[in-house]
Structure 1
């Protein structure tokens, strides 16, 4: 079997594009991967895929590790970023081909699943309804009463955990986004009201997480970590490129700290794990690839640290992340977006099975479903003139 073509497909995801990788073979078996970026860099990834294509066409798709390391070595001066995402999307598609050809699931290629049901949490709970209510087809979040109703919906739909951002209900609702990295008293009050409302609505048995992204420096993250101790969070999530600063936050409060979604390869995770700077290591499987993500998980396991996939893309990303979850021993929980554009469900040939807060691992060969390319091509990504205008942002 030989690779005959490698193609990147851009699909409209509403407020950002989804990036899919299609790898074709001379035996008619097609593999799919996903390496969706934010709205700023999709064409950079497409260009990297084209740059890597001559290396791949004519090669044996079964040699997944060999091809991964050839791509890695070729691009090593540009470690991380859009290059790593392109490599990851291709690598995932190669695993999909190999599993289909052998008639097994992707997780079988990694020794077989440790678990066939994976606990999931409702991510960006309230965030997309605040920023893009028309796109997701939801009622606006005008008040804390609407937040309480959303919390009740989480419980009613069987989810046992949720994650939100710094959502501020209103007319219109917004999210807090800091330009200077400083935490204000108003920000703290907004967070306290939001989490207090969610906690009252979901009760003590549903886990809650708050994502601060890259908004604040260490001093601000410490202030918020101490503030939210009263809500017994599953974790406080934040992004940081300095393991010493992150350890400072972790040691300053009892709130568990989750980080790592913007890191690439074991080399970038190692200093954070060596320093025990995180309670939960977040790993983006679509950006790191399946093999490297498993190596990161193994490194985290040595450091007694659980992992949780970063997964806010299409359902294909959820599938590939699920096979990672099934194959590692130190899994915490899997992220899924419940709110999305209405056509997301049409992009896969098989629906996801999520019930009572758990995703059932698909049994079909490969990732468990294929891209519905006709639907993907019906929804081409059209760049927005000013992407930030899509967001209802309140300065911190």
Structure 2
């Protein structure tokens, strides 16, 4: 069996373009799907997929580790977020091919499933674009959270913290404290609440002020309280606060996660399989975390193929905790799939049984939503004095 073509299919999802990667073989009808979505870098990622083709065409798709090494070692220059996203989409598609060829779901190739179902969480109103609610009106925000829970979720991630600088103004901190308390009171103790800071605070002290305000509601974790990459600072912060911390969506390599594990900088890591070299990188990262006693909560606010990939990974990963999803992002989330494994039942996804990833993209349906320049919410990220802030 040989690889004969590698194609990309781009589907516009308003705030991002989903980048699906299709690897085609010389066996009639046998192909694999992956997802390499990287917000606001669509053209760069699809071009990188083209650049990687010479390392793959004519090769045996079953030699996954060998092909990953060809893509990463032959590239010479460190690949970074764009390059590793392209590699990740291709790598996932290779596993899809292998599972289909052997007639088994990918989780069987990862050592078998360790659980029967996968707990998931979503964002406010399932991340539906145009249906978000600002934090200024606490009552309206709580109504939206309650509505989300009533969709069948027992866990939800929310954004409590505004664009921030090096300080945390007292009125803002007090509002965040009231908002968090109101949300907890509304949903009760049976719903896990997570909050994503997006790395907005630019100092440890500012981050700590907001975390301390949220701590009384006992969130499952506080995500990216400071910008990723400064692991010593994250470890310092972790020792100053009472909340579990999480990070990892903007880390890509086992070495980066090893530093997090070595310093016990967070309680949970959040690798994104669309950026960390898919299953190959994700498995290494999960093993590093397990050795350090850390749970895995994979990042994934992207398209249906990324969700299918995450589901296979989660089923077979012992230290998995909870999975992010955003299946309500756009109305056509499911319409572009001719096979789809991501049905929510009592707050869980069920272990899939179909061969490969268990998902197929309907390319004719996908073509109805071609690439468009995304609406970029980060363009609004500014402090009151006009200083550009971290989105």
TM-score (norm 1): 0.90
Q: CA deviation at 1:184?
A: 2.3
Please tell me whether the aligned partners of residues 225 and 253 of structure 1 are also in contact (alpha carbons under 8 angstroms).
Answer: yes
Distance 1:389 1:226 in 2: 26
Deviations, residues 29-61 of structure 1 (Å, cap 9, x unaligned): 11000011012x111111110110011111111
Aligned twin of 1:34? 35
Q: CA deviation at 1:155?
A: 3.1
Residue 295 (str. 1) matches residue 284 (str. 2): yes
Residue 206 (str. 1) matches residue 207 (str. 2): no
Aligned twin of 2:153? 159
Structure 2: state its 5+ residue gaps: none
Q: 1:298 to 1:62 in 2, by over 3 A?
A: same
Question: What does residue range 191-230 of structure 1 map to in structure 2 within 5 Å?
Answer: 191-216=176-201, 217-230=203-216
Aligned twin of 2:267? 279
Please tell me whether the aligned partners of residues 126 and 147 of structure 1 are also in contact (alpha carbons under 8 angstroms).
Answer: no
Q: CA deviation at 1:151?
A: 2.5
Deviations, residues 328-366 of structure 1 (Å, cap 9, x unaligned): 110110011253110111122234211111111221101
Distance 1:117 1:332 in 2: 11
Aligned twin of 1:52? 52
Distance 1:127 1:326 in 2: 22
Q: CA deviation at 1:5?
A: 0.5
Question: What does residue range 26-175 of structure 1 map to in structure 2 within 5 Å?
Answer: 26-28=26-28, 29-39=30-40, 41-123=41-123, 125=124, 128=127, 132-133=129-130, 143-166=137-160
Aligned counterpart in structure 1 of residue 172 of structure 2, from 170, 176, 187: 187
Q: CA deviation at 1:368?
A: 0.8
> RMSD between aligned alpha carbons?
2.1
Distance 1:147 1:281 in 2: 28
Aligned twin of 2:323? 334
Aligned counterpart in structure 2 of residue 233 of structure 1, from 195, 203, 219: 219
Deviations, residues 130-187 of structure 1 (Å, cap 9, x unaligned): xx42xx5x788883222222232233223111101137xxxxxxxx323x44322243
Please tell me whether the aligned partners of residues 184 and 217 of structure 2 are also in contact (alpha carbons under 8 angstroms).
Answer: yes
Please tell me whether the aligned partners of residues 75 and 83 of structure 1 are also in contact (alpha carbons under 8 angstroms).
Answer: no
Distance 1:21 1:310 in 2: 19
Please tell me whether the aligned partners of residues 166 and 190 of structure 1 are also in contact (alpha carbons under 8 angstroms).
Answer: no
Aligned twin of 1:263? 251
Deviations, residues 240-277 of structure 1 (Å, cap 9, x unaligned): 21111001110001100011110012011111110111
Q: 1:369 to 1:182 in 2, by over 3 A?
A: same
Distance 1:149 1:24 in 2: 47
Q: 1:141 to 1:355 in 2, by over 3 A?
A: farther
Deviations, residues 69-98 of structure 1 (Å, cap 9, x unaligned): 111102252242101110011000000001
* Deviation larger for 301-310 or 188-197: 188-197
2:229 counterpart SS class: coil
Q: 1:67 to 1:343 in 2, by over 3 A?
A: same
Runs of 4+ in 1 over 4 A off after TM superposition: 126-129, 138-142, 388-396
Please tell me whether the aligned partners of residues 17 and 37 of structure 2 are also in contact (alpha carbons under 8 angstroms).
Answer: yes
Please tell me whether the aligned partners of residues 133 and 144 of structure 2 are also in contact (alpha carbons under 8 angstroms).
Answer: no
Q: 1:185 to 1:128 in 2, by over 3 A?
A: farther
1:62 counterpart SS class: coil
1:363 counterpart SS class: coil
Structure 1: state its 5+ residue gaps: 168-175
Q: Which structure shows the higher helix fraction?
A: 1
Deviations, residues 105-139 of structure 1 (Å, cap 9, x unaligned): 0111111111120011123x26956xx42xx5x78
Aligned counterpart in structure 2 of residue 376 of structure 1, from 331, 348, 366: 366
Distance 1:391 1:344 in 2: 26
Q: 1:146 to 1:127 in 2, by over 3 A?
A: farther
